[in-house]
Each structure stands twice: as C-alpha cells, then as structure tokens.
Structure 1
Amino acid sequence: MAENKTVHDVTYDLLRELGLTTVFGNPGSTEQTFLQDFPEDFTYVLALQEASALAMADGFAQSTGKPALVNLHTAAGTGNAMGSLVAAYRANTPLIVTAGQQTREMSIIDPYLNNPDATEFPKPWVKWSYEPARAEDVPAAFMQAYAVAMQEPKGPVYLSIPLDDWHKPALGPAVVRTVSQRTAPDGERLREFADRINRAQRPLLVLGPEVDRAGGWDAGIAFAEKLGAPVRGSALADRVSFPETHALYAGPMPMTIAEVNQVLQGHDLVIVIGAQVFRYYPYVAGDYLPQGTELIQMTVDPHLASAAPVGDSLLGDVRIGLEQLVDLIDTPVGRQAPTPLDRDRAVRTSATSEPLTADEVYATLATVKPDDSPVVMESTSTMAELFQWLPTTRSGSFFATGSGGIGWGVPGAVGLALGDRERGVDRHIVATIGDGSFQYSIQAIWTAAQHKLPIVFVVLRNEAYEVLKSFALLEQTPNVPALDLPGLDIPSLATGFGCHTADVKTTDDLASEFKLALDADGPTVIVVHTQPELPHLG
C-alpha cells in the first residue's frame, strides 16, 4: 500500500504524469471530494453551465491535440452536458469526462442526486463508460480511460466516481502506460486502391475532417496535386482539410442524395478520404452513385466504413494512408485540369435603409481578419456566404460543431483560445455566430471575459431561425410557429457578462469595430444587423 497516500493523491499524480492538469467544469456537491485541496499546478476552468464546460474542453483538446478533462455533477450535470457530448463524439475529440456520484453506502436506497444507471446514461455518445467496482480502482480507471480516448477513432470516455472513493487508501502508485495512437492502413489493400486510382480516367477526390484532425493537410495537398483531379470537402464539415482557394478545389459536397448524385455525374471513380459517404441531411431521394461511377473510401472510423451505403472501404490513419498512397499512384498523362471555382461574383448589397446582407458581412470580415485567425462557424443559414468570402486557407483554421446541434460554437471558441494559450500560440479566434445560436451557450462569454481571451464574436442578428424556414419550405410544412426572434438585446447581455460590445449596422462600422476588437484586452461581441436570407438546402 502507498504510504499515507489516498486515491485522491495517486489519481492527481497520474493526471499530472499524463499532462491532464486543466479541468473544465461547474463544481457540484458530488465533485467536491475530487476538487478538494486543488493543486497549484492544476488549472480549473469555470463554466457557468455544464454544456459549456464540455464544449470548452472539446475546443481545448482540438487546439492542443491532447485529451482534456471534464468534471460534471452526477446525473443532473451529465444531462446538461449531453448535447455537447454528442458533438465531441461526432468530432472524434478525446475527452475524459468524469462525474461525481453519490456515496456507495447510500446508493442502494437511491438518494437525492444519485445516478442509478450512471454508465448507461451517456451511451451511445462515449467510447467507454465505467464506474469502478471499488475505490482502489479509480486511478487504473483513469489510465484506461486515457488509453481508450486516445486510440483511433479518438473520442470521449466517461467515468462515474462515488464521492467517498477519493478518501480511501490507495493500493500503490498508479501504473502509467503508453498505447499506440495511430494505425497504418493495410498495405495490400492500399496498393489495390492505388491500382484503381491509376486506372481511373475522371476521378473526384473528397477530403473530409479526419485529414485535418490527423495532421494530414500537407499530405492531402500533395496527393491532390499529383492526382490532378477536382477536390471537394465534406458537407457540413466540422474541420476543413484542403485550402479552399486552391485551383483544384471545387467546393463542399451538397447535403442531399439527389444533389450528390448530380455532382458525381461524369466521374468514374470517387476517392473519399477521411469522410463519411456521405454526410446527408435533408432527404431528397436519388441514387447514391451515378451509373458507371465507383467509390473507394479510406477512414479511421469503423462505423463510417460500415455505414457507407456504397463503395469499398479501407481502415487506417488517413495521414499515413495519404503519405503512402501518393507514392503508389502515377502522375496522370493528359488529364485536363478542372475548371477553377468561380469566386468572382459580386457582393449582394443592401439598400441604405436596410440591414446588411450576409455577403456584406463576410466580405467585410475578409478585409480585416488576420490571416492566422481561425474561424469558428455557427451561423447555419450563412455557411455559403462564409465559404464564398472567407475561405479557409491553412490547417487548424476552421471549426464547427460535429453534431449539427447549435450551442457548441461560443464555448468551443473559448476552449480553442484557452488551448492556444496553453501551447503558446498568439492569435485571435473569430467566431461567426447566429443570433439564435448565441443564446444557447451565452454564459460561455463570461469565461472568455474572466480569462481575457482574444476572441471576436460576430453575431449575425437577422431576428429569425432562418435555416428552419428553409426546412419548412423543403419539407412542405407551412405555418410552423416560433421561427422569429424579436426583442433580444444582445449587446446588453454581452456587456453584463463582462465583454466589450458593439452594435453595428454598416460595413464601415463593422470594419472599424473589428479592428478595435483586435486591440482589446479580452473578448468583444459585435452584433451585426443582417437581412433574413433563406439558405439553399437541396
């Protein structure tokens, strides 16, 4: 037995050894035995709600490339965090999510704040869910949680820990282990794929979020340039994996089965790397592939490989796969260069008395945003305008929710900024957020203000859930209620949480306030009045 050491002591020693010294949470009664005597070399990031705490940890882990530790409050806190947990799972973010549990002695009588089925609650949105059978197993459970979270496909894991476990004597020091975090694709199957690529006359390449997450940005460019084929991104991507200004780039994939089929017309082989086949959303029927078109997929995720409705799949780390595949394919002879994407259309402008168009907002931001500033996107009705005027040109520079649920963007931006600070990167985060989305996690801007984070939140105030109005048209569901958002005084709310604020109605004011925000000591919330504009869905 470790001399005079408790489970609490040994677990903190392990967390320190694993580099997990930042804890995201909102402390509740069942976590205080874990948080007691909080070490000076650890940092506790306070969020004002558990959904924000988990999304902040998600952004932090995506910035640092390391797992993050989240501490939730039993069933109630876990319930609050579930939406953000879905996003982390879909984005393959490695998180160790812990929740305090009532004492073991009282568990059988189901006391207040008990979580009787703690390990079932977060499923299926975690890779592993566990409550140690005895207090002495808590450190080993953390070590296993780390190993599971960091093995591909990475993702969140969940530990439920009774509050009285932390005071129990430890059996000894925790065993620290290492595990492989990358798995190479099968070499023989990779060569088969290369042969099919070499035989293709009119291939299309799709590079999805896994490529950027795996550090494969440069490998993707090298492969695409040797292939000489048009490149598309995933629909509704949470990461961008190819420069959107590159001559080979042809835009993101559409969201419906029918429109995907149209895009694939004329291609004899579709090469999908690091993406789902495909990320569909509204249902518009059609054939998955045009006649005469074949498809191959490389992904690290067995679920995405098994869920693909067509094509042949290869499992493995996509960066390793791209680096090997580029040497296996031939430089094509006589392949015609794809038609460059047209980015020369005019900005849709507003009349003097009207709110700004989304075009005007993003075109203005393009003139003032620093080149190294990443964008966090959660204005679902203006995705096309952001792509047109504010394209992603470098790795680790675009982030969005992995699940499609709104409320991730604001705390996700906070986590990214904290992660940048952790790794010594000095840059501003630019978060373009819809006015409806901003309300979901508005309390996260308090954390940004407390830490004086370099974030510019640009809130597009169109006073509506405009994307839902597009769905109402697509789905032929007239007279849907509650799609308008009048009466929100967002600048006053942001001021109350401690942020610099601005309320703008012209492009000149937007540019001026954005420049001031870059010099501000802490976050700024810029509310931009915009026109309601229906986005295209399919």
Structure 2
Amino acid sequence: MTTPTVREAVVRFLRDTGTTTVFGNPGSTELRMLRDWPADFTYVLGLQESVAVGMAAGYALGTRRAALVSLHSAGGVGHALGAVFNAYRDRVPLVIVAGQQARSLIQLRPFLGADEPALFPRPYVKSARQPERAEDVPAVLAEAYRVAMAPPRGPVFVSVPEDDWDRPAEHVAPRAVHSGFTAAPAALDALAARLETCARPALVVGPGVDDEDALDQARTLAERLRAAVWISPLSGRSGFPESHPLFQGFLPPLARALSARLAPYDVVVALGAPVFTYHVADGGPPLAPGTELFHLDCDPGQAAWLPTGTSIVTTLRPALTRLTELLKETDREPPPPRPTPPPAPALAGQDITPELLFDLLRSRLPRDRVLVEEAPSHRDALHARVPVASSGGFLTTGSGALGWGLPLAVGRALADRRRVVCVVGDGSAMYSVQALWSAARHTAPVTYVLLDNGGYAAVRARGRRIGLPAVPGTDIAGIDFAALSESLGCPAARAEQAAELPAALDRALGLGDDAGPFLLHVAVTGSAGTLYEPWAG
C-alpha cells in the first residue's frame, strides 16, 4: 500500500469533516494543492482575497462549521487582512491556508515568499503556524480546524510551502472535541441570588448569544426575570427577538450615552458581549453609580480586560439554562415596551428616504430570511424599522472593516441556498464589489438593496460631531451601480423616486431561491440619523 501525499491526506481530512467547499483566490504557490481537484469539492473563486475570506465567513456562519480559505502567499494574505480582522473580532471559525514558496528557496528571500509567515496575520488569528516538516501538514491543519471551532471561535492560519503537497504523509482522522463548558456552580448561585434581590434588572445581549445558538435560553432568562433587554454596541449579530415586549433597543458606542441608557437598572448582566465597544472617546464612565455589572462570556481574554463588575467565564447555553432553573418566578413589573417610529410618508414624485425604504422592506421581508447589513449611515433607522426575530437572522460587521457585507451575503446564501437580503451602502459596496461576480457565477440567492447617498455619510456625520462641517474625500457620487452589477453578471434595476420603490422591491424580494443574485440600486436622500444619535434619542 502506497503512502498518501500531503495533498491526499488533507483532502481526505477535509472530506471527513464535511469541508468540501473551499473559498480562495489561486496563485502559483497553491498550484500543487489544486492538482487533481476532487469532483465532490467546490472551489468558490473570489476575485480579491478579502472577498474570498468574507464569503467563507458567511458560509461558516450559515453552516456553523469552520470554512476553509486558500490565500496566495504574502501578498494575498496582505490583501485579506481587513476581512481576517473582521472574522477574528466577530468570532467566525475559518481555517486559512496560505501558499508559501518552496522550502529550498525560503532562505534566499524568493519572489512571492513570505518572511516569518506565522507572524504576518497576528494578532488577528487564534494561532498561526508554518509546519516544521512537510509530513506534519495534515496534522497541523486538523489541529487548526479544532482550534477554530473551540470557543471563542475564530480564524486560524497555516502557511504551507508549495513543495510540501507532493511529499508523503499519513492520514489524520477527525476527532470529536466537546468544547462547551459551564461556570462554577458557586458563581451561578451567587448571580442568581443577586438577581432575586434586585429591583430593576437588565440583560445586554452580545453577538456571543447568536454565535452559541443560545437565543432561546436568553429569551427564557429574560422572561423569568422580566428584565429589560438591550443589544450590545455595534453587535455583528442579533441574539434576541427584536419584536419581543422586553426588548428595549441598541446601546450606542459612546460611554456617556451608554451609561445613561443603563442607569435605570441596578443589575446589568452582559451575555456574550464585549463590555463595552466604544467608537468615540467622551470620557464617560462604563456604568453609572449604583449599577452593578455581571459578565458571562466564553473568552477569558474578555474577562481579563473588563474594567468593572464581575466576570463569569462560561459558554452560554449551559450557564443560562442553569441560571434560569435557579430563579423563582417574579412579580416585578416588566419595562414598558420599546416605542415604534411613525411610518415614513411616501409622496408621489418625491425622493426616497431611508425610512421609507425600510418601512417597505419590513412589510415585504419574510420572517425566515437572513438580513445582512453594511450601511453604517443608516443602521439605526434599519434597526428601528426592520426588527429581527430569529436566531442567525441578522449579520453585519461588529468590528468596522468595510467590504464585509457583499461577500458575507454570498457565503451565507451558499450555506443553505435560501435567499439572503443584503442592505449595503454605496461606500461599503466599493470595497468588495467583486463579490457580485462570485454571486452570479455560483447562482447565489442574494438580493442586494444598495443605498446610494453619494458618499461616506457616516464619516461626514462623525466629522460634524467633532466640528468639521466639510470632510475631504467623502464624495463618491456618480457611480452607476446597476450597470456595474450587470457587467459582473448580476442582474440589476434602479429606483430613484418614491413611487417606483414598491414595485422595484416586489421584484427584487420576490425572486425564488433558485433565481440567483439581483441588485436594486436605490438613490436615497435625507439623513436617517447617525451611529451615535439613534431615532429614539
């Protein structure tokens, strides 16, 4: 019996783990890996490396398994690092395999060679290695898969010299790793006792709730406590049904405003959330005096830098289940329901406002559709008018590197072939517009609703806040996104007046799951508020 090659051993491991969809952008140092490409594997090409990482991230979030990304040596990894940063901060499990020049050339600083490749993507990967020997590659990749999937999940990087793929190596069988863990019973007992005696509790739900599929447990705990529920600042996901009467809204990324939102509560329990993510330094305290904080998260690093309160390091599903069991039914009054904004007027011959667009989107969006968002200028209006009700029903970037939304939607649509709706701004779209080509090539069922306000409006709003009435470099008007989309193989349409919008949305949202991608270019006017001044004040 012949000894398999590294390539054959890796292919077998990937097949055994169900990792048969590979995202990448190929180059010369990956050619040996691509030899004799298996008929049961799918290669999803991204025309730029950050697009490949974004698509892989959407696929991983949809399948809840680590996805494989193939990048090209140092230059390709460099192109991808913005998306790798997002994946790391948003806890997306990826196995990133980067090509490297042949081992015999590495000492000679060759063309396309990566100097110190294991250092290049740090600190935005959970681990990074170049195996010492070719025969170690399958075992290192298997370890990378397990590390990526262990909580807190995230990307893992492996650099493979190109001549390793044809060397002999042994098969590596997949292993089961049960990585859920719960807090010490005494810690949960103490938290339950404090919640029994508090007067006005609140939960802050972070992306970890959705990541760990713990929405049902979070909702049950909130109902047992009759607690107000907030979403953590700039969360990349939704972990609580936003139509629920206990839901209060989205915390702002400003210390003073956030502290004021939480000041009415005597006990706040943050679940799977950074405490807290701020975007602007305003000198405010993390919490008002008299508000006690508890923090439950699987990441000991989050617990270590917490500036205040008590941390409990745990995965969420077992901890929330046990905590709910410890609590008695309460007769405390629930918080008043979150106010709803008035309907936006639609006047014949008028321009389209974001508020009108989102009202129409809400009435047409099926409850089971996944909504991907990357329209920072209009996020508050979207949150106010298009509530998300299901686990995994909302995805965005919680870390801020633009270009995430378009490819993320492609990968998420390919995960289960159900239509995804992606609301994206014109500025965000230009960072990764190549994703439209991949969506068309793979008939990904994605409807893109592109809001064109002619520039980087979120940056303009931030400038106004700090006293800059005009910010250079924020005008990108004049791009014909419908024509650009069609040139990349993705059908498109335009809507410029309010009267055109209902029919245009009906067409874009009414496509079946087998119809492939579609882009609706919507010219919007007016301000939907900013990331710092939500409509509810």
Q: What range describes the TM-score normalised by the shorter chain of this pair? A: over 0.9
Give the aligned residue type for 2:338.
Answer: L
Matched, 1:368 2:360: no
CA distance in 1, matches of 2:258, 2:284: 9
Name the counterpart of 1:214. 212
How far does residue 319 in structure 1 lie from its aligned partner after superposition?
1.4
State the secondary structure of the residue aligned to 2:424.
strand
How far does residue 348 in structure 1 lie from its aligned partner after superposition?
3.8
CA distance in 2, matches of 1:487, 1:220: 45
CA distance in 2, matches of 1:176, 1:524: 39
Matched, 1:401 2:397: yes
Conserved 8 A contact 1:148-1:157: yes
Q: State how 1:439-454 maps to structure 2 within 5 Å.
A: 439-454=430-445
Name the counterpart of 2:415. 419
Conserved 8 A contact 2:426-2:452: yes
How far does residue 509 in structure 1 lie from its aligned partner after superposition?
2.6
Name the counterpart of 1:341. 338
State the secondary structure of the residue aligned to 1:236.
coil
Conserved 8 A contact 1:349-1:356: no
Out of 520, 530, 537, the residue aligned to residue 535 of structure 1 is 530
Give the aligned residue type for 1:271.
Answer: V
Name the counterpart of 1:473. 464
After superposition, the C-alpha distances for 1:93-143 in whole angstroms (9 at most, x for unaligned) are 111000000000010010100001100000000001000101010011011
Conserved 8 A contact 1:132-1:161: yes
State the secondary structure of the residue aligned to 1:160.
strand
CA distance in 2, matches of 1:532, 1:435: 15
CA distance in 1, matches of 2:401, 2:5: 41
Matched, 1:86 2:85: yes
Name the counterpart of 1:424. none
Moved more, 469-478 or 404-413: 469-478
CA distance in 1, matches of 2:289, 2:511: 56
Conserved 8 A contact 2:348-2:498: no
User: What TM-score do you get using the length of structure 2 for normalisation?
Assistant: 0.96
After superposition, the C-alpha distances for 1:283-342 in whole angstroms (9 at most, x for unaligned) are 222222211111001001112211221110001111111111100112223x11211111
CA distance in 2, matches of 1:195, 1:4: 60
How far does residue 354 in structure 1 lie from its aligned partner after superposition?
4.4
Name the counterpart of 2:7. 8
Give the aligned residue type for 2:446.
Answer: I
Moved more, 351-360 or 293-302: 351-360
Name the counterpart of 2:475. 484
Name the counterpart of 2:305. 307
CA distance in 1, matches of 2:219, 2:78: 41
Q: State how 1:271-350 maps to structure 2 within 5 Å.
A: 271-333=269-331, 335-343=332-340, 345-349=341-345
State the secondary structure of the residue aligned to 1:173.
coil
CA distance in 2, matches of 1:346, 1:6: 64
CA distance in 2, matches of 1:158, 1:413: 23
After superposition, the C-alpha distances for 1:428-467 in whole angstroms (9 at most, x for unaligned) are 2110000111111001011111111211100001112111
Moved more, 74-83 or 258-267: 258-267
CA distance in 1, matches of 2:480, 2:396: 25
State the secondary structure of the residue aligned to 2:120.
coil
State the secondary structure of the residue aligned to 1:33.
coil
Out of 431, 446, 449, the residue aligned to residue 458 of structure 1 is 449
CA distance in 2, matches of 1:378, 1:431: 8
Change over 3 Å in CA distance of 1:465–1:350 after alignment to 2: farther
Give the aligned residue type for 2:228.
Answer: P
CA distance in 2, matches of 1:444, 1:167: 32
How far does residue 230 in structure 1 lie from its aligned partner after superposition?
0.8
Conserved 8 A contact 1:349-1:357: no
CA distance in 2, matches of 1:175, 1:458: 44
How far does residue 537 in structure 1 lie from its aligned partner after superposition?
1.3
Change over 3 Å in CA distance of 1:454–1:536 after alignment to 2: closer
Give the aligned residue type for 1:66.
Answer: R
CA distance in 2, matches of 1:11, 1:266: 55
CA distance in 2, matches of 1:166, 1:396: 37
Give the aligned residue type for 1:535.
Answer: T
Moved more, 406-415 or 317-326: 317-326
After superposition, the C-alpha distances for 1:340-371 in whole angstroms (9 at most, x for unaligned) are 1111x323447655421110010011122222
State the secondary structure of the residue aligned to 1:34.
coil
Name the counterpart of 1:438. 429
Give the aligned residue type for 1:526.
Answer: L
Name the counterpart of 1:502. 493
Moved more, 145-154 or 56-65: 145-154
Conserved 8 A contact 1:282-1:537: no
Conserved 8 A contact 2:344-2:359: no
After superposition, the C-alpha distances for 1:400-423 in whole angstroms (9 at most, x for unaligned) are 0132111000000000001113xx
CA distance in 2, matches of 1:176, 1:451: 29
Q: State how 1:35-50 maps to structure 2 within 5 Å.
A: 35-50=34-49
User: What TM-score do you get using the length of structure 1 for normalisation?
Assistant: 0.96
After superposition, the C-alpha distances for 1:140-164 in whole angstroms (9 at most, x for unaligned) are 1011111111111111000000000
Matched, 1:182 2:162: no
State the secondary structure of the residue aligned to 2:494.
strand
Matched, 1:77 2:69: no
CA distance in 1, matches of 2:262, 2:364: 36
Alignment gaps of 5+ in structure 1: 422-426
User: In the comparison of the two structures, how many residue pairs are matched?
Assistant: 529
Give the aligned residue type for 2:326.
Answer: L
Matched, 1:145 2:136: no
Identity %, equivalent residues: 38
CA distance in 1, matches of 2:208, 2:161: 36
Give the aligned residue type for 2:532.
Answer: L
Alignment gaps of 5+ in structure 2: none
Conserved 8 A contact 1:446-1:498: yes
Name the counterpart of 1:99. 98
Conserved 8 A contact 1:463-1:532: no
Give the aligned residue type for 2:423.
Answer: T
After superposition, the C-alpha distances for 1:40-75 in whole angstroms (9 at most, x for unaligned) are 111111111110000100000000001100000000
CA distance in 2, matches of 1:140, 1:241: 35
How far does residue 487 in structure 1 lie from its aligned partner after superposition?
1.5
How far does residue 479 in structure 1 lie from its aligned partner after superposition?
3.5
Moved more, 354-363 or 89-98: 354-363
CA distance in 1, matches of 2:413, 2:473: 34
CA distance in 1, matches of 2:347, 2:455: 20
Matched, 1:523 2:517: yes
Change over 3 Å in CA distance of 1:536–1:149 after alignment to 2: closer
Conserved 8 A contact 1:366-1:389: yes
